[in-house]
Amino acid sequence: MAKTPLIVVFVFMITVTCNLSGTQCRSILTSSLVSSLIAGADINVRPNADPGSPSVNVSVNVMISGVRIQDDNEEVMRLDGYLSMKWHDSRLQWEPAAYDGISQVRIPMDEIWTPDLTVYHSPDSQQKLFSEEHTIGVVYSNGDLLWVPKVTIFTYYNETKTNNGTLYQAKILIGSWVYDANALDYPQETHPTVDHTDYHGQNFIIQNSSITRQSATYPCCEEQYPRLEITLEVLKTKKD
């Protein structure tokens, strides 16, 4: 609380400077806003960490832009695409009126807390799920976040020969590695989807896909660990 008056004075001073310097106003205000948001939200502490707070709900959607059979002998499939994640962090809120109406900013996601989603049963434990290319996300003044990093997912598959070609089926489990359902969850009322509109593969046709929320317990602990199960059916059509 003791800091608030200082911040107000600071913003007021910048607002005055902005009015004088015209077009640079937005850049100055944006820098000051992004710095204060990052300073106020500890990267190591999740949102709603206080006892009794509701879990952080992460809405996840998957977009697939490429399918490759990586290794026929080991039955490994490679998927390229994006993962869209939305969640809320009340530490990242501000009053747009105090910032010349700025209602959203781009923020480097490696400076704030992000969900530690990972692929369970990945054939390659060294492979990072999130690309290091797109580490910028959008923060809205109400504390909502949107982050859509590129992803590469390796998964095992099985195959069945059909009259139409070879059908590859894969099941991918994605979830937090450390947070149980009391800390992080996937909203059950929303309907996550696998989106293939950006998929332009010729050899493989994505026939069917789904995402469902599941919950698991482990021998270590009594908490429920929620996770998302993604199923995919890919048909490799016969060549004439």
Contact residues for ligand NAG, defined by CB under 6 A: 48, 54-55, 57, 158, 162-164, 169, 171, 185, 187-188, 208, 210, 231
User: Do strands 56-57 and 184-185 pair parallel, antiparallel, or not at all (unpaired)?
Assistant: parallel
Residue with smaller CB distance to ligand NAG, 11 or 174: 174
Residue with smaller CB distance to ligand NAG, 99 or 225: 225
Residue with smaller CB distance to ligand NAG, 123 or 187: 187
Residue with smaller CB distance to ligand NAG, 125 or 163: 163
d(CA 90, CA 47): 7
Token pair, residue 180, equals: 């149980």
Min CB(152)–ligand NAG separation in Å: 20
Helix (H) or strand (E) holding 34, with range, is helix 25-40
Residue 5: other Cβ atoms inside 10 A: 9
Please list, residue by residue across 138-167, b when 16 or more beta carbons sit within 10 angstroms of its beta carbon and e when fewer do: ebbbebebebbbbbbbbbebebeeeeebeb
- CA end-to-end distance (rounded Å), the chain: 73
Residue with smaller CB distance to ligand NAG, 29 or 211: 211
Min CB(195)–ligand NAG separation in Å: 15
Min CB(165)–ligand NAG separation in Å: 8
* DSSP labels, 198-235: T---SSEEEEEEEEEEEEE--TT-SS-EEEEEEEEEEE
Min CB(89)–ligand NAG separation in Å: 10
Min CB(231)–ligand NAG separation in Å: 4
Specify the amino acid at residue 143.
Answer: G
Which residue lies nearest ligand NAG, judged by its C-beta?
A: 54
Residue with smaller CB distance to ligand NAG, 35 or 182: 182
Min CB(182)–ligand NAG separation in Å: 11
d(CA 115, CA 227): 12
Residue with smaller CB distance to ligand NAG, 180 or 185: 185
d(CA 127, CA 162): 32
- The two most distant CA atoms of the chain are separated, in Å, by 75
Min CB(216)–ligand NAG separation in Å: 16
